[in-house]
Structure 1
Amino acid sequence: MTVLTARRTRWGLAAAGGAAAAAWWFGDKAPYPYAQRGLLDIPLPYLTCGRLDEILRPRPGERILEIGPGTGLQSLHIAPQLGPEGRLDIVDIQPEMLDHVTHRAEERGITNITATESDARTLPFDERTFDAVYLVTALGEIPEPDQVLSEAARVLAPTGRLVVGEFFDRHWIPFSRLHRLADASGLHLETRHGPTMAYLARFHPCHRNEPVPSAP
């Protein structure tokens, strides 16, 4: 191979690589299309199920909400840890995703997942319903993420916790922006794991130490 041919080959490969990257970047739609669901089963650096366990700390008997479960990579890992007395609610705007997760759960004998088709900006749950809420690479795909965080704060129990995971793509929310949005929604930062381009952060309601009002 001549030097000129080698250079042309490298340029061709570089151009092909750039075109593939551009296709991925500009083809990354929100919400994530069901047709590309296979990519959602690939664990991302810093956002593994093990790291999610460390920061979410799911416990038997809890009721937890997952917003934007995708194909269930996290759902099928978290739900069994809640035990028969616990429950994992999953919310997505795409019924195909919910059907996919519930079908996979049935195949594995997991019976404590409840699916609800809904917009995360108007969650169909009462206040103080959940022990925990989590979103992994989902918050940036939803318009008006501030409303999503406000809704998460509303449905959290006073001692509850919110976990947000973000990974660098077109819909990525930098940690500094997430922190500001969370503060404005009445959520206090507890801890963060990972760099800003791939992180998990845990928050709790700022009023968690206030007494729960008694029923009239």
Structure 2
Amino acid sequence: MGSAVLTAPRLRWACALSAAAAAGAWWFGDKAPYPYAQRSLLELPLPFLTSARLDAVLTPSPGERILEVGPGTGLQSLHIAPQLGPHGQLDILDIQPEMLRHVMHRAGQRAVPNIVPTHADARELPFDDDTFDAMYLVTALGEIPEPQRVLDEAVRVLTPAGRLVVGEFFDRHWIPFGPLHRLADAAGLHLSTRSGSTLAYLARFQPCARSQRSLRGPES
């Protein structure tokens, strides 16, 4: 046999090395925020983070005003907004205007009129206190520097009975459930339900009583 022909063990090693190289390129090439040029990958549904699971944890209702941070290409936006009805509103916020334009273009094509875009940083939400009935981030919180500030802002803009849903899936920017729970506790949020495992989960938090949060005083 010629030297150019790979034996079975060498072929297995070559395949393993190729797979490792591809995984490494994906892992280290995964940038935050997710680049608009690679937006097609955002259309792939993630296991355990399906629309049905999001509905079950977020429980959107007609007439509500909900904020989505990091909408990507609108996979969740175009599913949630119609459920809010003509008197409800879905605000979408992203630091990349290209993503917002993309979602709004798709919303126009599908005649979904109740989506309102905002170009801003999630660490400084440009909304008044007690504005939203709910807020959600699906595979977005880990892409934002200082996630604690995002959760603090969520508590501020949510109504006292509001809810925050965080969805995470294992990638380079993944936040395991344990650290997320600690961040939420520090922000004055308590866990109300969770779906999935730590590698792929949806968790719903709600603001603790305002009186309890005020006793904590300013953070040191």
Instruction: Go from structure 1 to structure 2 and tell me whether the alpha carbon gap of 1:163 and 1:208 turns closer, same or farther (over 3 Å shift).
Output: farther
Q: Give me the whole-angstrom Cα distance separating, in 2, the residues matched to 1:29 and 1:89.
A: 25
Are the aligned partners of 1:159 and 1:208 in contact in 2 as well (CA < 8 Å)? Answer: no
Conserved? CA contact 1:136–1:164, under 8 Å: yes
Whole-Å separation in 1 of the counterparts to 2:189 and 2:156? 10
Q: Counterparts of 2:74 and 2:6 in 1: how far apart (Å)?
A: 49
Distance in 2 (CA, whole Å) between partners of 1:207 and 1:99 is 37
How far apart are residue 58 of structure 1 and its match? 0.2
Shift of 1:208: 6.4
**2:76 is aligned with 1:74:** yes
Identity %: 73
1:12 partner amino acid: A
Quote how far apart the aligned CAs of 1:136 are: 0.3
- Residues 29-68 of structure 1 correspond to what in structure 2 (within 5 A)? 29-68=31-70
TM-score of the superposed pair, with normalisation by structure 1? 0.94
What SS does the corresponding residue of 1:127 show, helix, strand or coil?
Answer: coil
Deviates more, 1:2-11 or 1:47-56: 2-11
Alignment of 1:1-216 (within 5 A): 5-207=7-209
1:22-70 per-position Cα deviation (integer Å, ceiling 9, x unaligned): 0000000000011111111111111001000000000000000000000
Q: Report the 3-state secondary structure (helix = DSSP H, G, I; strand = E; otherwise coil) of the residue aligned with 2:135.
A: strand
Once residues 127 and 201 of structure 1 are traced to their aligned partners in structure 2, the CA distance between those partners, rounded to angstroms, is 23
Q: Distance in 2 between matches of 1:64 and 1:207?
A: 20
What SS class does the counterpart of residue 166 from structure 2 fall into?
Answer: strand
SS of aligned partner of 2:37: helix
Alpha-carbon distance, 1:209 to partner: 8.7
Alpha-carbon contact 1:158-1:209 (below 8 Å) kept: no
Amino acid at match of 1:40: L
Q: Deviations over 1:144-165 (max 9, x none)?
A: 0000000011000011100000
Residue type at the aligned position of 2:111: G
* Structure 2, unaligned runs of 5 or more: 213-220
| Deviation sequence 1:104-139 (CA, Å, 0-9, x none) | 000000000000000000000000000000000000
- 3-state DSSP class of the match of 1:126? coil
